[in-house]
Amino acid sequence: MSENERSVITPTTTRQPRASRRSLLALTPLAAVAAAAPGVTLGQMHADRELIAKCGEVIELERHIWSTLPGRFAPGDDFALEAAQAPFADRSVEIMTRIIATKSHTPAGITAKAHALAAFVASSVEDDEGDALDRRAYASILRDLLTVNVA
């Protein structure tokens, strides 16, 4: 009997499948997007499941690059920090390139893309009057997508 076929007997003698560790770990990127995108349910994510999982990966990579790694280096040790960030940044660029090439089919997919982009270009989301008008417009749309529930 495989791990997915094992059942747990509850006090009411109802048989319920037990989630495997692998299936729970596979949901981690989806959970990251769901946490970052209020109002998006796992059910809504089904049509864009792969896209949303990739978006979750970018969010986690960017969080690691900008939150976890800097605390591991002495202030001013930019060379060592950049060297440590490089493989994660390269992977983030690779995944973001796939996200850009993938069409969203649901509002949940669009929301996930917006959150991945916001994580990827964190400083570009702010309205900077010195930026070209097109960049300001893109940033405005992105901010709206992050705050309006499109799902």
Domain-embedded: residue 59: yes
Band of the pLDDT at 75, cuts 50, 70, 90? confident
Helix or strand holding residue 21 (H, E): helix 21-26
Domain-embedded: residue 95: yes
- Return the bridge partners of 7, or none: 17
Cα–Cα distance between 53 and 1 in angstroms, integer? 29
**Count: domains in the chain:** 1
Q: What is 49-108 written as a DSSP string? A: HHHHHHHHHHHHHHHIIIIIGGGGS-TT-HHHHHHHHHHHHHHHHHHHHHHHHSPP-SHH
Domain-embedded: residue 72: yes
54, pLDDT greater than 90: yes
For 108-145, give the secondary structure using H, E and C: HHHHHHHHHHHHHCHHHHCCCCCCCHHHHHHHHHHHHH
Domain-embedded: residue 116: yes
Q: How far is CA 102 from CA 8, 54, 127, in A?
A: 39, 10, 27
Domain-embedded: residue 2: no
pTM: 0.63
Q: Which domain holds residue 119?
A: 29-147
Q: What is the pLDDT of residue 147?
A: 81
Cα–Cα distance between 69 and 41 in angstroms, integer? 31
pLDDT in tens, 95-138: 999 999 999 988 889 989 999 998 998 756 677 777 788 878 88
